[in-house]
Structure 1
Amino acid sequence: MAAKTVSKADLIEEELILALEQNKELSEFEFRKFQRDANSITDYVSRNHALGILYTIVKNDSLMYMYFDRALSLGVNIVVLYNYFSCLNRRSCFSKSKEVFYKYKDYINTNRLVLKAFNVASFYLDNDIATFLYDKALLIKCDEELVESLFERKKKISQIREMTKCSDEHVESLVNIYSRIIRKYNQKVKSFYLETIAGGHYVIAIDTDNLDTIVDMNFELADEIVANAELDSCKLVAVFEPYTRINK
């Protein structure tokens, strides 16, 4: 059987994804090289896909949105859509993730995409999105372990909604607050889960060993929640924790 030919676009995208996963800070020279390489890709979708990843790396969210939206404008490419969700999560652009979900929800048809998109349901404690994705996982016959995991996460979303009595507006305000703080401190969410003890709360695992940063982020989070009068009647809280401590 002949080996699959690896295109120039594939190689450039692999390099960019590696730099993204390594959280690499690009020098001006490296940025210009990647930019030149990406712009040399003749295929419209692949070129804009590569540029979307590049601008994620350099933390230019408006250009990241623009290039990924262009890459999806001619038709939905599942790899591009998956990477768009990944890049939005990496940059803590949660509101944009929700927008992208609603725009492309009918194209979510793989295990990886269902799992990635489910973050939107968790961030926003959205029962409707959770149910939609759980039903989609059953429809496309995702593996049993994933289906069971989604069922448990869906159940926890419902439990926390019931426990905290928070409205959609409350949840959105809280998401906007912790998203802004994550971005201000230039941190990356490594994992995210919901906890039903102590009245229900988010645990946001940050990819850092710097406890001073975590403490500062939590103080700022508490101050912003207290200062937001809209959240007075909402029992839902959030906490930042270092990922390494959670996963020891």
Structure 2
Amino acid sequence: MFGDMLYAGISIIEIDYWRFAKELEKMDTPNAKSALGLLHAVAGKFDKSFEVFESALESYDDPSIAHNYCFSIEKSGDIDLLRSKVYEYSDRYGSKRLTSMAYNFAYQFGQRDELVKYIDQHIKLLSEDEGRSLAEKHKTELLAELDLAYRNSGCTEQQFQTLASIMIKITQKHDAKAGLVEASRVQSRSIVLDIINKDPKAIAQMNFELAEAVCMEPILDGCDLIGRFSPKRDLNIGVSYVNTKH
């Protein structure tokens, strides 16, 4: 219930929030703790939400709590915390969902070692019917794209991560829904992020703000890697496996 509300961006009236919170605080089960954490997030009380999830994970070794915690962090917009926790819980639980999130973060932020680590973990969890062979090909494609982006741009991992963070912040500022991300398509020096829910004029404004932010960031001096937002197109032409099931 509260997860669906958080996903849809539905708010909750104050009296209902306190009533549900009081009821859930009396229950000491993993599901109740997850529901309470999600309830706080729906009410916009993310600090409380995170406290509930952190405490629950100390008491219960339950990956569903970690999944809901990461979902709440995602909705809070704290991408750095989300990436950190996704890596932590991928190491701890190794679920398909968490390892998928982890290797996608690693790719988007140019972290090659982490990409290898988490996509290998993810592949081990897949059966052939779930696309194991395609995922192995996907790994090869993603690594080739990252290597090409670094080679063509001459940027450092810190610069790659800085550019990725700037792009995510602009996406959040405009309440834009991101789709696929792609590095170095057709031997370009670009990180391209497709935007699903904005028209070309709005995306052009996002690109203008991105250019301004890049110019103002000294860490990106001497970096030829280019960030760009794009309308929804057929990015990642060579992608063999995109995990949408787990």
Most deviating of 92-101 and 120-129? 92-101
163, 170, 179: which is aligned to 1:181?
Answer: 170
Sort the Cα spacing of 1:41 and 1:148 in 2 relative to 1 into closer, same or farther, 3 A.
farther
Confirm whether residue 236 of structure 1 aligns to residue 225 of structure 2. Answer: yes
Q: CA deviation at 1:59?
A: 4.5
The residue type paired with residue 124 of structure 1 is F
Partner SS state of residue 191, structure 2: strand
Residue matched to 2:160 = 171
Confirm whether residue 21 of structure 1 aligns to residue 26 of structure 2. Answer: no
- Structure 1: where are the runs of 5+ without partners? 1-14
Q: Percent identity?
A: 19
- In the alignment of these two chains, the number of paired residues is 229
Q: CA deviation at 1:60?
A: 4.3
Contact 1:177 1:224 survives alignment (8 Å): yes
Most deviating of 176-185 and 26-35? 26-35
**d(CA) in 1 for partners of 2:11 and 2:226?**
33
216, 236, 243: which is aligned to 1:227?
Answer: 216
Contact 2:33 2:56 survives alignment (8 Å): yes
Residue matched to 1:12 = none
Confirm whether residue 193 of structure 1 aligns to residue 185 of structure 2. Answer: no
Q: Deviations over 1:54-96 (max 9, x none)?
A: 3443444433433322222234322222233334344443211
**d(CA) in 2 for partners of 1:41 and 1:188?**
37
Residue matched to 1:137 = 122
Contact 2:24 2:35 survives alignment (8 Å): yes
Sort the Cα spacing of 1:121 and 1:230 in 2 relative to 1 into closer, same or farther, 3 A.
same
Contact 2:86 2:101 survives alignment (8 Å): no
The residue type paired with residue 38 of structure 2 is I
Partner SS state of residue 192, structure 1: strand
Contact 1:190 1:206 survives alignment (8 Å): yes
Give the TM-score normalised by structure 2: 0.76
214, 233, 242: which is aligned to 1:246?
Answer: 233
Residue matched to 1:96 = 81
C-alpha RMSD over aligned residues: 2.9
Instruction: Write the mapping of 1:1-248 to structure 2, written as runs, cut at 5 A.
Output: 15-43=1-29, 45-142=30-127, 143=130, 144=132, 145-185=134-174, 187-197=175-185, 199-242=188-231, 245-246=232-233
Partner SS state of residue 222, structure 2: coil
The residue type paired with residue 246 of structure 1 is R
Q: CA deviation at 1:114?
A: 1.8
**d(CA) in 2 for partners of 1:18 and 1:127?**
34
- Structure 2: where are the runs of 5+ without partners? 235-246
Residue matched to 2:237 = none
**d(CA) in 1 for partners of 2:176 and 2:100?**
19
Contact 1:193 1:202 survives alignment (8 Å): yes
Contact 2:171 2:178 survives alignment (8 Å): no
Partner SS state of residue 9, structure 2: coil
Contact 2:203 2:229 survives alignment (8 Å): yes
Q: Deviations over 1:90-140 (max 9, x none)?
A: 444321123214433323433222212222212311111111112213444
**d(CA) in 2 for partners of 1:40 and 1:223?**
50
Partner SS state of residue 58, structure 2: coil
Most deviating of 127-136 and 187-196? 187-196
Contact 1:38 1:51 survives alignment (8 Å): yes
Q: Deviations over 1:6-52 (max 9, x none)?
A: xxxxxxxxx01211222324444554455345434332x43432233
**d(CA) in 2 for partners of 1:190 and 1:30?**
32
**d(CA) in 2 for partners of 1:140 and 1:204?**
28
